[in-house]
């Protein structure tokens, strides 16, 4: 085993003692000496590095935080948008119902010769959508089988075919190949009588046949019920003449009528109970 060089050991120990003595001496006499400043600068440098790293990490986290905030804001705005749309739909429904009811009041004022019952469409059969509607009035409200039914615009649209205490079924006229058989005429011309024959769903036209060839017809003429035949009372508006043509034998005319009825949206209707003359008034 090699012997330790005593001289080298002496030099190392002497150097360490001299360094420690110098440090204690300078710290005891000047707190702002080179060594202290060097140590403080080192600590400050380390602190700045740590602060910068923390600041950068914080800045990196800000976009993530803002992303979550934006997501929550979008969810809130989307919920408010849905609420606004639902409120808008509800408001439009109320506005349409109000307009319909106001129109019904105006039409009801023109039906002064009739006793009417206001009714609401409460359902339709999915298999016979175009043929029937159910209304919320029945025998308890004075309704009977065969009574005429008008749209809220005032046009004849069908008649009652089945009555329950608090509801009734209405057979509509907008069904192809359905013979109505009602007696009608041009308003103001009792010689223009014809037969309410049926409805052409493809063209949206009501067909009136057996009108005398010599009757003068104009586009836009109003066609009403005559009250004959025991089906409908006199004076119910059926529609307006949109076109007409002479039959193949040249003896009669066929009238084609239109009206403003939306058969897919019969929300409100009138039921004609009886005329004032029929009730003895």
Confidence tier at 249 by pLDDT (50, 70, 90): confident
CA–CA dist 278, 274 (Å, integer): 6
pTM: 0.59
Which percentage of the chain shows pLDDT scores above 90?
29
Highest-confidence segment of 59-63, 93-97, 231-235, 277-281: 231-235
Closest-CA residue to 142 (of 171, 166, 114): 166
Mean of the per-residue pLDDT values for the chain?
A: 75
Q: Is the pLDDT of residue 253 over 90?
A: yes
Residue 248 has a pLDDT of 85
CATH of domain 115-275: 2.40.10.340
Q: Tokens 């014809």, residue?
A: 194
Q: What is the pLDDT of residues 175-227, one digit of tens each?
A: 655 566 789 999 989 889 999 888 888 888 999 999 999 999 999 999 999 98
Q: What is the pLDDT of residues 94-109, one digit of tens each?
A: 566 666 555 555 555 5
Q: Is the pLDDT of residue 17 over 50?
A: yes
Provide φ and ψ at 104, rounded to 5°: -60, -40
HSE of 73, CA atoms in CB hemisphere, 13 A: 6
Domain-by-domain residue ranges, the chain?
Answer: 1-110, 115-275
Residue 265 has a pLDDT of 82
Q: Is the pLDDT of residue 169 over 90?
A: yes
Helices 34-110, 6-29: axis angle to 10 degrees equals: 60
DSSP per position, 183-222 = EEEETT-TT--EEEEEEETTTTEEEEEEEETTS---TT-E
Q: Is the pLDDT of residue 110 over 60?
A: no
Q: What is the pLDDT of residues 149-166, one digit of tens each?
A: 999 888 999 999 999 999
Residue 245 has a pLDDT of 94
| Least confident span in 5-19, 105-119, 126-140, 251-265 | 5-19
* Angle (nearest 5°) at CA 105 between 166 and 180: 60
């Amino acid at each position: 085993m090699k012997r330790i060089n005593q001289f080298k050991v002496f030099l190392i120990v002497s150097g360490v003692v001299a360094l420690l003595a110098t440090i204690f001496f300078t710290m005891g006499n000047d707190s702002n000496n080179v060594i202290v400043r060097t140590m403080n600068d080192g600590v400050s440098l380390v602190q700045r590095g740590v602060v910068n790293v923390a600041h950068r990490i914080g800045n990196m986290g800000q976009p993530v935080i803002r992303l979550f905030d934006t997501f929550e804001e979008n969810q809130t705005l989307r919920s408010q948008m849905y609420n606004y749309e639902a409120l808008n739909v509800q408001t439009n429904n109320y506005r349409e119902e109000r307009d319909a009811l106001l129109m019904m009041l105006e039409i009801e004022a023109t039906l002064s010769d009739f006793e009417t019952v206001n009714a609401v469409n409460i359902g339709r059969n999915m298999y016979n959508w175009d043929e029937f509607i159910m209304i919320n009035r029945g025998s308890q409200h004075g309704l009977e089988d065969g009574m005429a039914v008008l749209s809220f615009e005032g046009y004849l649209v069908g008649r009652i075919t089945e009555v329950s205490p608090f509801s009734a079924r209405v057979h509509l006229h907008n069904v192809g190949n359905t013979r109505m058989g009602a007696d009608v005429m041009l308003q103001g011309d009792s010689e223009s009588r014809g037969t309410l024959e049926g409805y052409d769903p493809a063209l949206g036209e009501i067909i009136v046949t057996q009108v005398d060839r010599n009757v003068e017809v104009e586009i836009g003429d109003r066609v009403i019920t005559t009250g004959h035949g025991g089906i409908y009372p006199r004076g119910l508006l059926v529609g307006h003449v949109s076109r007409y043509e002479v039959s193949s034998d040249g003896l009669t005319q066929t009238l084609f009528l239109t009206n403003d009825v939306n058969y897919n949206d019969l929300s409100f209707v009138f039921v004609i109970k009886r005329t004032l003359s029929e009730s003895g008034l």
